[in-house]
Amino acid sequence: MNIAFKNSFKRLAALVACVAFFASSSVAQEIAYLRDSTYLYQFIEATRQWVLTEKRIHKHNALGQKIETLTYAYQNGQNERVLTQRESYAYAPSGQLVGYEKQGFAEGEAFGIEKRLLEYHPTTGQQSSRIDYRWSQGAWVRDRKWETQFNEQGKATRSNASDWDGTQWLETYRFEYLLDPRGNRTEELLLLRDEQAGKLRKFRLQTYDYNQQDKIVKEISYRWNADTREWTPRSATSHEYAPSGKPIVSESRSWDLDSQRFLLSQRIAYTYKGELLSQRGEFLYQASSGKWIENTQNRFEYDEKGHLVRQEESVLDAYSLMLSNRIRTDFAFDGLDSLASRREWTWDADVQAWSPSQELLWHRDAFGNLQRESVSNFKQGNLYWQALQVHFVSPNDFSTNHTIPTAYLYPNPASDWLRVGASQPPYQLSLLDAHGRELLERTMNSTELELFVGQLETGTYLLLLRKPDTTELLRFVKL
């Protein structure tokens, strides 16, 4: 079998798989060797309880590929569930996704939400085509198509998008790429559709120069002038690199029509601590003083393993040079080096302190499988919305039986008092510091308990709730 025939066969097999998939009313005919479920809870402040609001059941084939997701919404508390969405997936023999469809359900009637078909380059395996469909008058109709062409080295030479007008595809824009012998993109031409003329016209040209390490050292952007029928410069950016290849400085200039030359406008400077980026500053050029004025500053901190644990951004007003905004994001990792928490803070200038805005937590089992993920949103430092997702993997249990979250903390972060809630007491409660040292122990006999934490130093602490048949480990931040 020659190579050309093999490639054609692969494309045909992918197409047949996709057509057969969407011709079927459901993918339930495929054997599902494993199901896993996701439960979504929302914390109701008035009742101080977690309420189950949504369940998703994911079905997988023998290769572990997801073939269907069913989403149920719970009504009237947790006593009644209604199917609201179905997502279906189709794969080629190579394992690549070739079809996706999402349906919604309302009052027992199905309707389309999203559908797309994909094709891949037979040699490189890169996506070469995607067609999106929209739901119209009870049926799927073509909507938009993206296509990419590649050369023999697998480099893209052209990409375009087309809209379906009911009878044919009309090209709306196209990128054409010029490559050097090493495969670097030296020119990028953008053409946009002129609706009156009914054809594509030149719009923008981007050119690139490279160093010996194939790093971009200069890029210039041009805009097509239809009146003069020539390219007019718009901006130019130069880049400098360290011997290691890491960027040091990027400097941008804007084209001045009066002087017909490039004038300094923006600068980005990078600072490293060892191999890790420690600071990134953005500067605006002030022509009146001939100086660079720092506009935005980003600082990065890492742990001993090289994980990013803190990112802080400060934005200055370009005119008053006063601090206009300051945000911070903290990251924490578990023993498997997986992300365990992400906390966002904003600087409160009135009280000169950090105020929490959002917290995301992830809990995994000993094998790294995600079991829980939660999100908490804050307004002016006060918790106003919480949601929790609980994941279960079971090859046999398809029922709705599940374990309701047993414990919660509020508020988190806390400054003085911390309220601990737990179902089915009693529990033995232990307060631990970040090093695992026990600071407090008591018995929790009711479903809620208030702890005074005002005496604790600022930092992260753990609460361990234990009983013979279960253990809960909760984290909170002391402000």
Percent of the chain clearing pLDDT 90 (strictly above): 47
- The pLDDT confidence band at residue 177, using thresholds 50, 70 and 90, is very high
Residue 110 pLDDT: 93
Per-residue confidence band for 367, with pLDDT thresholds at 50, 70 and 90: low
For CATH 2.60.40.3080, list the domain ranges present in the chain.
406-479
pLDDT for residue 455: 80
pLDDT of residue 33: 42
| Per-residue pLDDT tens over the stretch 1-12 | 343 433 433 343
What whole-number distance in Å separates Cα of residue 254 and Cα of residue 285?
Answer: 11
Q: What's the CATH architecture for 3-318+359-404?
A: Beta Barrel (2.40)
Q: Is pLDDT of 470 > 60?
A: yes
Is residue 102 within 8 Å of residue 116, measured between CB atoms?
no
- Residue 320: pLDDT over 70: no
Alpha-carbon gap, residue 459 to 376, rounded angstroms = 18
Contact 279, 270 (CB under 8 A): yes
- pLDDT tens per residue, range 384-441: 777 777 765 543 333 333 343 456 777 777 777 888 877 777 888 888 876 667 788 8
Confidence of residue 29 (pLDDT cuts 50, 70, 90): very low
Q: In what helix (H) or strand (E) does residue 14 lie, and over which residues does it extend?
A: helix 3-23
Token readout for 236 is 């130019």
Residue 451 and residue 387 in contact, taking contact as beta carbons nearer than 8 Å: no
* Band of residue 215 on the pLDDT scale cut at 50, 70, 90: very high
Q: Worst-scoring range by mean pLDDT, 51-55, 298-302, 460-464?
A: 460-464
Tell me, which fold does domain 406-479 have in CATH? Immunoglobulin-like (2.60.40)
* Of residues 286, 301, 344, 349, the one with CA closest to residue 323: 349
> What pLDDT is stored for residue 156 in this prediction?
93
Contact predicate 465/472, CB 8 Å: yes
Q: Token pair 């609980």 is at which residue?
A: 390
The edge-to-edge listing of strands for the beta sheet with 417-422 is 407-410, 417-422, 448-452
Say what the pLDDT of residue 351 is.
84
What stretch(es) of the chain map to CATH 2.40.128.720? 3-318+359-404
Distance CA 219, CA 205 (A): 10
* Residue pair 364/370 in contact by the 8 Å Cβ criterion: yes
* pLDDT at residue 391, rounded to an integer: 64
Q: Residue 464: which of 41, 451, 455 has the closest Cα? A: 451
As a whole number, mean pLDDT of residues 125-150 equals: 95
Say if residue 331's pLDDT is above 90: yes
Q: What is the pLDDT of residue 385?
A: 76
